[in-house]
Amino acid sequence: MILEQSHADLWSTVHASQVRAVVQAPVETDNKYRRGVVLLATGSHTYPGAAVLTAQAACRTGAGMVRYLGPNAVAQGVLAVRPEVVHGSGTYHCLVIGSGIPDAREDERSMLLQDSVDAGIPAVVDAGALCLIEPGMPGLVITPHARELSVLLKRLGLANWSEDDIASSRGGAAQAASELLGCTVLLKGRHTYIAQGEYRATVRTPNSWLATAGTGDVLAGVLGTLIASQIGHGIDMDATQLSRTTAAAAWLHARAGWLASQHNAGVAVAPNNVHAPSTMLDHGPLGGPVLASDVAQALPGVVAAVLAK
């Protein structure tokens, strides 16, 4: 299959109003289950921090409950930072799997993905769990960067695209991969592309400080929480809604990175600037370096600004 560059006018830009339509503010009748239960199968002995980051992000995005399944030593690290997390299995609305796992084929949690597919529960598949993907698995969102997508499609014999081909395709690779795999594709980068069927959206990050280790783990936690929250509130998570939710998560993540960079530079940020169009923020302060944990820390402020819009 030949990979062609996509045209910018085929992609809609995600705005705060669209994110507001996805984010679920708690109401009087809510409880922790209605607010959404996320199951994290993330982190490993090799990369324990990924489990902490996905848990931080899920909690700070507003999950009603976060469950964690993983090695005991990693779980203890998660609980030391986020004692609200429940270590162990149970009912859940969305699975997040792969962040911080080198190769999920060698991980005992690998069966969770097929279990979720069989049960009709959406799953966010990241990093080391991308090797478990096969075409035609419903209810999935995959979150690769260009190199990971190249490896995935070559493994399946679906396309022989290089990392550079994908990165320069202006979203074309995300759209084509979604058609080949039959799932929602979130292609990470300074310009993040979300594709599923006729749905095509892009999220432009106001600056590039997010290009640092661990921020993809934060994104996975945000996405799992938004999906779980909607299912907990009885919203039908069809392919279109799953794509819209994925785009909203990418926007929240991008703005949390921007807000963290401003905080780290000592810049005061008004709530209306948090949800301003990204092109308006290009002319503001560049901001300062961020850590992935800074991005997770900034998420409540972004959610609050969106809900107040």
- The per-residue pLDDT for range 268-289, each reduced to its tens digit, is 998 888 988 888 887 778 899 9
Residue spans per domain, the chain = 26-253
- The per-residue pLDDT for range 192-230, each reduced to its tens digit, is 999 998 999 999 988 899 999 999 999 999 999 999 999
Mean pLDDT of 13-39: 94
Find out whether 197 is annotated in a ligand binding site. no
What is the C-alpha separation between 206 and 283, in angstroms, rounded? 10
Find out whether 263 is annotated in a ligand binding site. no
Beta carbons within 8 Å of 183's beta carbon, 6+ residues apart: 133, 137, 138, 139, 140, 141, 142, 196
Find out whether 190 is annotated in a ligand binding site. yes
Q: Which pLDDT belongs to residue 2?
A: 65
The answer, yes or no, to whether residue 109 has pLDDT greater than 80, is yes
Find out whether 100 is annotated in a ligand binding site. yes
Find out whether 216 is annotated in a ligand binding site. yes
Find out whether 188 is annotated in a ligand binding site. yes
The CA–CA distances, whole Å, from 182 to 3, 73, 136, 208, 293 equal: 17, 36, 5, 30, 33
- The per-residue pLDDT for range 37-81, each reduced to its tens digit, is 999 999 999 999 999 999 999 999 999 999 999 999 999 999 999
Asked whether the beta carbons of 289 and 209 are under 8 A apart, the reply is yes
Which of these CATH numbers, 3.60.21.10, 3.40.710.10, 3.40.50.300, 3.40.1190.20, describes 26-253?
3.40.1190.20
Find out whether 120 is annotated in a ligand binding site. no
